[in-house]
Chain A
Amino acid sequence: MAAAAAGVVATLAVALWAEGRFARAAAFRTAVTTAAYLELVIPPPRPPTPPPTPRRPRTRPSRTRRPAPAPLPPPSVAAPDTTDYDVVQLLVQARALTTLPGWTAPVEVYHGTAPLVDATAPPLPAAELARLRRQEPPRWRNGAALVPLKDRRGLRVVGAVEVGLPPGRGVWDLLLRWALPAALLTLAAVGAVAWQRAPPRALVAAGLLLGLAAYADVRGAARRSTDDWLTGTRLLLREAATRLPTPRARVTIADLASLVRGAGELVPADSGTVAPRRFRFAGVPRAAATARLGSGRWVEVRTVPAEAYTGGWLLALLGLALTGPLAALGLGWAERMTARPRELRETAAAWAFVAPAGLHLALFSLGPILFALYLSVHRWVPAEPVRPFVGLANFGAVLRDPLVWVSLRNTVLYTLYVPVSMAVALLVALALDGHGRAMRLARTAFLLPYVSSVVAVGLLWQWLYHADVGLVNRLLSFVGAGPFDWLGRPRTALLAVMLLSIWVHVGYQMVVFRAGLQGIPRAYLDAARVDGANAWQRFWRVTFPLLRPVTVFVLVTGVIGAFQVFGYVYVLTSGGPLHATDVVAYRVYQSAWQFSQFGYASALSLLVFLVLCAATWAQFRLLAERVEYA
């Protein structure tokens, strides 16, 4: 129970921390944008007036350490130092920030260490400025985000911008629209279970609820974080348009782009809603707000909505919220089990036995399948950082792709080799059913292609099929036929691959059939002989029906294998000529590794998987009835 309670508290703490993190992220982004705004809108000092030294005359040890690249002393130089700001202008603009209608976050601008907005505020400690100059990562300080203010060239750090949390975004304000009630509910559930007023299952339900509630809060915080930045940026954009030295009518997006650099993008827009909104652009989620630059001129600032990528938090919070309940359940189970040590031992042993196979399955079967599922509903290209969710679009693209249908037809045609090779294999198995040396040798010879390297076999047959020097054409020339370009003609290429597959698979199928034949009790055949059945009747009416499970096995595995054929196609024809040997596995391969369309490829392989499931089910239904031995 203590564990459950601790789990509740931990979940709350993590949710709180995550929300704070998002709020701070918004403050940081706003601070960076504000700094960019200031850098943009403050005009250079006017040349005629001898510029008052922009730096404060205070001694700043950190500055003395830095070698000054643009020495000030020579007064005769015509061009003044235009890289620093006109302090008056900086002061004006900084103070103007707080008067922007709709601007809520507390903001302070330091020039050097001197506060400009609130002149009575304590100055920025010199160590902090030094930190910023050393380009150390921005820091959260005294409940506000502190980022460097650079000079006009964007090189030198001349001050700092500090943006705090807007009112209503403090840590305790965040707490917690959903999570707190859910946490209380969960604690109540813990109590109820502890006093045995509720079944332990209730704990799990409460944990689930808590996890979801905490996630809802975190997600809300993430959303607010994006909204706050968008709102602030929109205000700054509008303001920047009025304050830029260039004529207002000519303010362009390029002029303003530095405001959102690294955080979003600016696109021209029609008039639109001012409030932040969400939409999808090319499948990628986007958040945007529109700012008016001038009469009839609007610009839209777009960014990635923070809440769109909070899936990890959901997992983490759910996991955390369920830890307590699950631990409580586990403890209860362990308590019951220790009362029955024998059962515990057996359960533990059973899990121990299952574990290796289970792990293997999870890691190498379930995992990849789940990943393929994930890929199939996303646009996933290795080189692109954004992997948006696209729903069933990949499946739609697969179904609309004529090449997919071509490859599917080819695959089905190719699969027809399976019954042929099975018939041959069964014949061979019956013919070579002996114990002699020659029999064993012949069986080995038949099996050899199957255990040989796919590429080696492919290359060998590539030569056999060669239009000019191939053995097949040589043999055909003796009977006056050919020559054919087996692999080069769309009509024969698939057939050639099928012949090769028969050659490869007969050996394996023969081995399986032989094992099946040996598994049939001799008594049945003896009985049939006494009953007067001839050899054909014995085979057709006794052996073959009794072989049915083996036949089904060979057929099903053969069809599955045929649907997955890749190596021989890859080596022999690369899917050509004119897609005549383009099979689905090759299509999957090409989509993924040559066209980098992993989502598409996963969707296609899942469709193939479904087709195979259906085909296998049908085969079992048709063939697998009544196979029991008496």
Chain B
Amino acid sequence: MASVTLRGLTKVFDGTAQAAVHELSLEVRDGEFLVLLGPSGCGKTTALRCIAGLEEPTAGEVLIGDRVVTHLPPAERDVAMVFQNYALYPHLSVRENIAFALEVRGVPPGDVTRRVAETAVRLGLGELLDRRPAQLSGGQRQRVALARAIVRAPHVFLFDEPLSNLDPNLRIALRAELLALHRALRATMIYVTHDQVEAMTMGQRIAILHLGRLRQVGTPADVYERPADAFAARFVGSPGMNVLQGRVRGLADGGRVVEVGTLSVPIELSTYEGELQLGIRPEHVGLSGVDQGVGNADVLVVEPLGSETLVHLNAGGQGLVARLPGIVDVQVGTRVGVRLDRRRTHLFDAAGVRIA
């Protein structure tokens, strides 16, 4: 097993001005399940392909274990990759697909047969070995792609949005299966996704990328509770954190408040002046009678979800979502008071970097 280390990894594609990946430094520990999370176009797949050796980095280094593999071909890196569209060879049967990597590496035929059989049993593919990929369902193809990766027993597994083409129920089932596999294999796995729920549920650590730059690395709890910047705050969580534009104002009694639309939220920040952004997760927003909270807001939309209700508010031009437990009886168009859990507010400067 091996760790994966990226040092200042930069990739600029020909003919583009902006780097797809910019100075990415990251260490994935041996046996860790790390999720690279970000919206589409953030460079997470490019980073993964650099690790696999399918892309040559413009600058920086890739290490697998202690070995610098930056310029080695994929074959010599001992990584396996599962592609978004599975990339199962359409002209080969399931058995041949799984055996392919072993055969081209010159594994003796007896071993190939044995290892293919073992892997097939492990992933429940025994019945499907003689079918072709076109005859399989999406979930079955995904399993074959997994089998093709694990049959080689590589040190590092790379997953490029492997579940994004599946329907939601299957996705949840396969998520659990993948985690079980990770526990069983104890291999290093790097998993790329744009789905923050997948990231939160699967990742031991999450690395958030945006516009080719690494924004935050941390455990799911870290990322959720102490987002490093406004982007990470908004991106993680469903719905994401409310990030409101505000302005700090000193009060006559020496206290300070942030004026956010019609709300004025007291803060304990003595030195900061001017524009800032106030973050608060929806579950830390509550409703009260008019003039009883930090300010008033108009109810725009009510979404009752059963276990909870999402209330979209307009506080003087600033949009705000409140997540309330159970079914809440609020009328659209009425004015309500807003309460904030002050201990759970996050402050970011105008550029989005966390202040407190």
Give the contact stretch, choosing among A98-106, A331-339, A467-475, A539-547: A539-547
Query: For A537, what are the chain B residues with a Cβ–Cβ distance below 8 Å?
Result: 104
Q: A524-B87, A531-B148, A630-B133 are in contact. Are A541 and B73 (CB under 8 A)?
A: no
Max chain A CB contacts within 10 Å: which of B53, B75, B90, B152?
B90
Other-chain residue from A529, A533, A541, A545 in contact with B53 (beta carbon distance below 8 A): A529
Residue pair B104, A530 in contact (C-beta under 8 Å) = no
Tell me the residues in window 165-184 of chain B with beta carbons closer than 8 Å to chain A beta carbons.
none
Could you tell me the distance between the alpha carbons of A546 and B81 in the complex, rounded to whole angstroms?
Answer: 21
B228 at the A interface (CB under 8 A): no
A532 at the B interface (CB under 8 A): yes
Query: For A545, what are the chain B residues with a Cβ–Cβ distance below 8 Å?
Result: 89, 91-92
Other-chain residue from A526, A626, A627, A628 in contact with B87 (beta carbon distance below 8 A): A526
Residue pair A630, B90 in contact (C-beta under 8 Å) = yes
Query: For A368, what are the chain B residues with a Cβ–Cβ distance below 8 Å?
Result: none
Could you tell me the distance between the alpha carbons of A583 and B101 in the complex, rounded to whole angstroms?
Answer: 49
Residue pair A527, B83 in contact (C-beta under 8 Å) = yes
- Distance from B90 Cβ to chain A, minimum over Cβ atoms (Å): 4
A172 at the B interface (CB under 8 A): no
Residue pair B134, A534 in contact (C-beta under 8 Å) = no
Total of A-B residue pairs, C-beta within 8 Å: 81
Residue pair A528, B100 in contact (C-beta under 8 Å) = yes
Could you tell me the distance between the alpha carbons of A531 and B158 in the complex, rounded to whole angstroms?
Answer: 12
Other-chain residue from A534, A626, A627 in contact with B75 (beta carbon distance below 8 A): A534
B355 at the A interface (CB under 8 A): no
- Distance from B188 Cβ to chain A, minimum over Cβ atoms (Å): 15
Using an 8 Å CB-CB cutoff, how does the interface string of B33-49 with A read, 1 for contact, 0 for none?
A: 00000000000000001
Q: A528-B100, A534-B75, A534-B104 are in contact. Are A629 and B85 (CB under 8 A)?
A: no
- Distance from A64 Cβ to chain B, minimum over Cβ atoms (Å): 99
- Distance from A115 Cβ to chain B, minimum over Cβ atoms (Å): 94
Could you tell me the distance between the alpha carbons of A39 and B126 in the complex, rounded to whole angstroms?
Answer: 104
- Distance from A97 Cβ to chain B, minimum over Cβ atoms (Å): 89
A521 at the B interface (CB under 8 A): yes
Query: For B88, what are the chain A residues with a Cβ–Cβ distance below 8 Å?
Result: 527, 630
Using an 8 Å CB-CB cutoff, how does the interface string of A41-73 with B read, 1 for contact, 0 for none?
A: 000000000000000000000000000000000
A548 at the B interface (CB under 8 A): yes
Query: For B92, what are the chain A residues with a Cβ–Cβ distance below 8 Å?
Result: 545
Query: For B81, what are the chain A residues with a Cβ–Cβ distance below 8 Å?
Result: 526-527, 530
Residue pair A542, B52 in contact (C-beta under 8 Å) = no
B105 at the A interface (CB under 8 A): yes
Residue pair A532, B90 in contact (C-beta under 8 Å) = no
Query: For B73, what are the chain A residues with a Cβ–Cβ distance below 8 Å?
Result: 529
- Distance from A595 Cβ to chain B, minimum over Cβ atoms (Å): 51
B354 at the A interface (CB under 8 A): no
Max chain A CB contacts within 10 Å: which of B85, B87, B101?
B87
Could you tell me the distance between the alpha carbons of A532 and B132 in the complex, rounded to whole angstroms?
Answer: 22
Residue pair A532, B101 in contact (C-beta under 8 Å) = yes
Residue pair B134, A532 in contact (C-beta under 8 Å) = no
Q: A630-B132, A630-B134 are in contact. Are A531 and B101 (CB under 8 A)?
A: yes
Using an 8 Å CB-CB cutoff, how does the interface string of A531-569 with B read, 1 for contact, 0 for none?
A: 111100100011001101000000000000000000000
Using an 8 Å CB-CB cutoff, how does the interface string of B277-309 with A read, 1 for contact, 0 for none?
A: 000000000000000000000000000000000
- Distance from A224 Cβ to chain B, minimum over Cβ atoms (Å): 70
Other-chain residue from A531, A548, A626, A630 in contact with B100 (beta carbon distance below 8 A): A531
Residue pair B134, A629 in contact (C-beta under 8 Å) = yes
A523 at the B interface (CB under 8 A): yes
Using an 8 Å CB-CB cutoff, how does the interface string of A496-538 with B read, 1 for contact, 0 for none?
A: 0000000000000000000000000101101111111110010
Residue pair A527, B90 in contact (C-beta under 8 Å) = no
Residue pair B148, A626 in contact (C-beta under 8 Å) = no
Nearest-neighbor residue (CB-CB) of A547 within chain B:
B91
Query: For A541, what are the chain B residues with a Cβ–Cβ distance below 8 Å?
Result: 100, 104
Other-chain residue from B75, B83, B104, B136 in contact with A523 (beta carbon distance below 8 A): B83
Tell me the residues in window 50-85 of chain B with beta carbons closer than 8 Å to chain A beta carbons.
52-54, 73-75, 79-81, 83, 85
- Distance from A542 Cβ to chain B, minimum over Cβ atoms (Å): 6
Other-chain residue from A534, A542, A548 in contact with B89 (beta carbon distance below 8 A): A542
Q: A526-B54, A526-B83, A530-B81 are in contact. Are A628 and B90 (CB under 8 A)?
A: yes
- Distance from B80 Cβ to chain A, minimum over Cβ atoms (Å): 7
- Distance from A381 Cβ to chain B, minimum over Cβ atoms (Å): 54
Interface size on A, residues (CB 8 A): 23
Query: For B89, what are the chain A residues with a Cβ–Cβ distance below 8 Å?
Result: 524, 527-528, 542, 545-546
Max chain B CB contacts within 10 Å: which of A527, A533, A546, A628?
A527
Residue pair A531, B104 in contact (C-beta under 8 Å) = yes
Nearest-neighbor residue (CB-CB) of A546 within chain B:
B91
B141 at the A interface (CB under 8 A): yes
Query: For B49, what are the chain A residues with a Cβ–Cβ distance below 8 Å?
Result: 526
Query: For B91, what are the chain A residues with a Cβ–Cβ distance below 8 Å?
Result: 545-546, 548, 626-627
Could you tell me the distance between the alpha carbons of A524 and B83 in the complex, rounded to whole angstroms?
Answer: 10
Other-chain residue from B104, B105, B132, B136 in contact with A626 (beta carbon distance below 8 A): B132
Could you tell me the distance between the alpha carbons of A626 and B132 in the complex, rounded to whole angstroms?
Answer: 9
Query: For B85, what are the chain A residues with a Cβ–Cβ distance below 8 Å?
Result: 521, 523
- Distance from B127 Cβ to chain A, minimum over Cβ atoms (Å): 18
Could you tell me the distance between the alpha carbons of A627 and B133 in the complex, rounded to whole angstroms?
Answer: 12
- Distance from B152 Cβ to chain A, minimum over Cβ atoms (Å): 8
- Distance from A529 Cβ to chain B, minimum over Cβ atoms (Å): 5
Residue pair B75, A527 in contact (C-beta under 8 Å) = no
Could you tell me the distance between the alpha carbons of A541 and B91 in the complex, rounded to whole angstroms?
Answer: 9
Nearest-neighbor residue (CB-CB) of B144 within chain A:
A630
Residue pair A530, B100 in contact (C-beta under 8 Å) = no
Other-chain residue from B74, B133, B134 in contact with A530 (beta carbon distance below 8 A): B74
- Distance from B339 Cβ to chain A, minimum over Cβ atoms (Å): 51
Nearest-neighbor residue (CB-CB) of B85 within chain A:
A523
Using an 8 Å CB-CB cutoff, how does the interface string of B74-118 with A read, 1 for contact, 0 for none?
A: 110001110101111111100000001100110000000000000
- Distance from B161 Cβ to chain A, minimum over Cβ atoms (Å): 12
Q: A534-B75, A630-B132, A630-B141 are in contact. Are A529 and B54 (CB under 8 A)?
A: yes
Nearest-neighbor residue (CB-CB) of A535 within chain B:
B73
Max chain B CB contacts within 10 Å: which of A530, A531, A537, A541?
A530
Query: For A627, what are the chain B residues with a Cβ–Cβ distance below 8 Å?
Result: 91
Q: Which 10 pairs between the two chains have the least Cβ-Cβ distance?
A: A630-B133, A531-B101, A523-B87, A532-B75, A527-B87, A630-B90, A545-B91, A533-B104, A530-B81, A529-B74
Instruction: List 14 other contacts, CB 8 Å, given A530-B79, A533-B75.
Output: A523-B83, A526-B81, A526-B87, A527-B83, A529-B54, A529-B73, A530-B54, A530-B75, A531-B104, A532-B105, A629-B90, A629-B134, A630-B88, A630-B141
Provide 27 A-B residue pairs closer than 8 Å at the C-beta atoms, listed in order of the A residue.
Answer: A521-B85, A521-B87, A523-B85, A524-B87, A526-B52, A526-B54, A526-B81, A527-B83, A527-B87, A529-B54, A529-B74, A530-B52, A530-B75, A530-B80, A531-B100, A532-B75, A533-B75, A533-B101, A541-B100, A545-B91, A628-B134, A629-B90, A630-B86, A630-B90, A630-B134, A630-B136, A630-B141
